[in-house]
Amino acid sequence: MGAVRYLTEDYTGTIQVHPEFRIILGKQGDIASSHADLAVILLDAAVPEDLPPVTLAESEVGVNETVITVGYGYAGPGSSTFEKRRFSKSKVVDFIRPEYERVVLEQPELPLFKNDSGGPCLREAGNEQRLVGVSSRGLGNAATFTSIHFHRAWLREKIRAATFPRTPAP
């Protein structure tokens, strides 16, 4: 994945939730299903130019494709991993039906991403990574992410609105 860089700067911005976002809770108050489980943060100022942008993938992931999932935070009881940035490579095993926007990954050996949400899921494309989804671990015990494939137009619109100076989205 190349060199690791930790950001220690604070940024401010505005959170914009996808307009079609919806969540359905189960009897126990847990998340039973969701749709368009995406949001963006429009920063008030640009990040340093030496941080390379991550472009949106042009195609959906496929079963058996390997993706990189990045997370940060609690790794579970008995773990020495606490509040640390981490990543894992996992294979796509299925899509949750009927909408197919939730992608199921093989379970990592450690519960590194249980209940972790909001981290990028990336496809390696040569020397760069492309965004294919956003970690969304709130559905049961499955390792899942929300695919961006059907939401690319909305994401491009938000990227265009947030680019400093204003330029067409990737």
**Domain ranges in the chain?**
13-162
Would you identify the CATH topology of the domain 13-162? Answer: Thrombin, subunit H (2.40.10)
What is the average pLDDT value for the chain, to the nearest integer? 78
Regarding pTM above 0.75, the answer is yes
Mean per-residue pLDDT for 21-39? Answer: 84
For residue 70, the model assigns a pLDDT of 82
- Report how far residue 72's alpha carbon sits from residue 86's, in angstroms, rounded to the nearest whole number: 6
Q: Measuring CA to CA, which residue among 81, 72, 86 is closest to residue 1?
A: 86
Q: Check residues 163 and 46 and name the one with the higher pLDDT.
A: 46
From residue 87, how far is each of 60, 67, 73, 111 by CA, in Å?
A: 21, 10, 11, 12
Q: Measuring CA to CA, which residue among 109, 71, 73 is closest to residue 90?
A: 109
